[in-house]
């Protein structure tokens, strides 16, 4: 049993070989733990002769103390080493350039739509949004465009079924509003519309902004006054408007509205094709038949309506020459529209 007291060397050797605090702990348990070798020595003491016990016990205690000291010192060393390693792995190089987050911008169509809503809300218009899938009735028939009407050819329609289609114009919303609400009516109806049409200035999906005012004594002068205000706020303080006779089945009389060219001030340039004017929207006095279709008495009430292409306004305002740029989502293009 005496030779067992030589455990100090064995334990020291193993402890010093431990590479981390976990394996050091295991070595410690192997010698000093409840079932460890040193503890076993103490337990074995009862097999010794009575008189040999005190001396033996003293030696074992000395051994235990020596080992405890040894382990404590090693533990401290290993913990310090481990802390250094951890700190190093969490090192932050404050001189490294940060990761940049690109700031998004509002799409030009959204910008123009928001500007239009702001502008007309200031004149007392409320926003109404109709459905993109419409019935033939709301998109055409109720707007005085029955099935055999030649004006249906003005718009190449995407039919979903015989009865349902992708709306070709936000004018469908006029009917929905007049069916539900009694005059006075003053609504603005933005939204997507769809036509089978595709070139540099036409896209099969685009956005329109519809306006509708119905009340007593509404005249074409009210329409032009309001459009002048719109042109000044949207394009330039010096912008003027002019009305040209046109045709829409749901308005009578119908007009095409031109705005003086903001790029040349009306003198004539490539943008306005030398005319000094740019066509921006269709409008007119709501046709009596449309009022009747919605249960509004045309002898008591009159109204005007207008519809403009939001992409077209955006293209004129920002000098965009191809409508496709508005759907390609090229960040280099979109990034240019910042406040
Ligand atoms: N809906 C017509 C179009 O899409 C525009 C318009 C709206 C004309 C309201 C007159 C009145 O071409």
Q: 328-339: per-residue pLDDT in tens? A: 999 999 999 987
| Residue-level length of the chain | 339
254-277 pLDDT per residue, tens: 999 999 998 888 898 888 889 999
Q: Is the C-beta atom of 190 inside 6 A of ligand 1?
A: no
pTM for the complete prediction? 0.72
Q: Which residues lie below 8 Å from residue 321, measured CB to CB, with a gap of 6+? A: 200, 315
**Stretch among 1-10, 150-159, 167-176, 278-287 having the lowest mean pLDDT:** 1-10
Strands 126-127 and 185-194 turn out to be parallel
The CATH topology of domain 108-337 is: BirA Bifunctional Protein; domain 2 (3.30.930)
> What is the chain's Cα-based Rg?
43
The residue whose CA has the least distance to atom 6 of ligand 1 is 307
Residue with the smallest CA separation from ligand 1 atom 12 is 282
Which ligand 1 atom minimizes the distance to the CA of 281?
Answer: 5
pLDDT in tens, 219-258: 999 999 999 999 999 999 999 999 999 999 999 999 999 9
CB environment 67-96: b (16+ within 10 A), e (fewer): beebbeebbeebeeeeeeeeeeeeeeeeee
**267 CA from centroid of ligand 1 (Å):** 28
Does the beta carbon of 251 lie inside 6 Å of ligand 1? yes
């Amino acid at each position: 049993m005496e030779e067992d007291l030589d455990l100090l060397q064995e334990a020291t050797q193993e402890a010093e070989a431990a590479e981390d605090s976990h394996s050091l702990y295991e070595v410690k348990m192997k010698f000093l733990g409840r079932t460890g070798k040193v503890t076993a020595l103490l337990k074995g003491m009862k097999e010794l002769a009575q008189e040999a016990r005190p001396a033996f016990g003293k030696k074992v205690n000395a051994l235990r103390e020596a080992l405890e000291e040894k382990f404590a010192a090693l533990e401290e060393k290993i913990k310090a080493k481990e802390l250094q390693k951890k700190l190093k792995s969490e090192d932050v190089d404050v001189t490294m350039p940060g990761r940049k987050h690109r700031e998004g911008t509002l799409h030009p169509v959204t910008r123009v739509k928001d500007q239009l809503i702001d502008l007309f809300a200031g004149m007392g218009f409320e926003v109404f949004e109709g459905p993109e899938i419409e019935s033939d009735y709301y998109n055409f028939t109720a707007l005085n465009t029955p099935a055999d009407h030649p004006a249906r050819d003005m718009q190449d329609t995407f039919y979903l079924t015989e009865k349902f289609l992708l709306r070709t114009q936000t004018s469908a919303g006029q009917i929905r509003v007049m069916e539900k609400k009694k005059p006075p009516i003053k609504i603005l109806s933005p939204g997507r519309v769809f036509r089978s049409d595709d070139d540099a200035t036409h896209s099969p999906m685009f956005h329109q902004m519809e306006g509708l005012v119905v009340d007593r004594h509404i005249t074409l002068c009210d329409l032009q006054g309001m459009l002048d205000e719109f042109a000044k706020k949207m394009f330039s303080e010096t912008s003027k408007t002019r009305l040209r006779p046109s045709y829409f089945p749901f308005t009578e009389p119908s007009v095409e509205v031109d705005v003086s060219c903001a790029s040349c001030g009306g003198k004539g340039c490539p943008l306005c094709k030398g005319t000094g004017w740019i066509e921006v929207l269709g409008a007119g006095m709501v046709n009596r038949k449309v009022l009747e279709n919605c249960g509004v008495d045309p002898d008591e009430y009159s109204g005007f309506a207008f519809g403009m292409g939001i992409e077209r306004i955006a293209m004129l305002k920002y000098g965009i020459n191809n409508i496709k740029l508005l759907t390609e989502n090229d960040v280099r293009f979109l990034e240019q529209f910042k406040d």
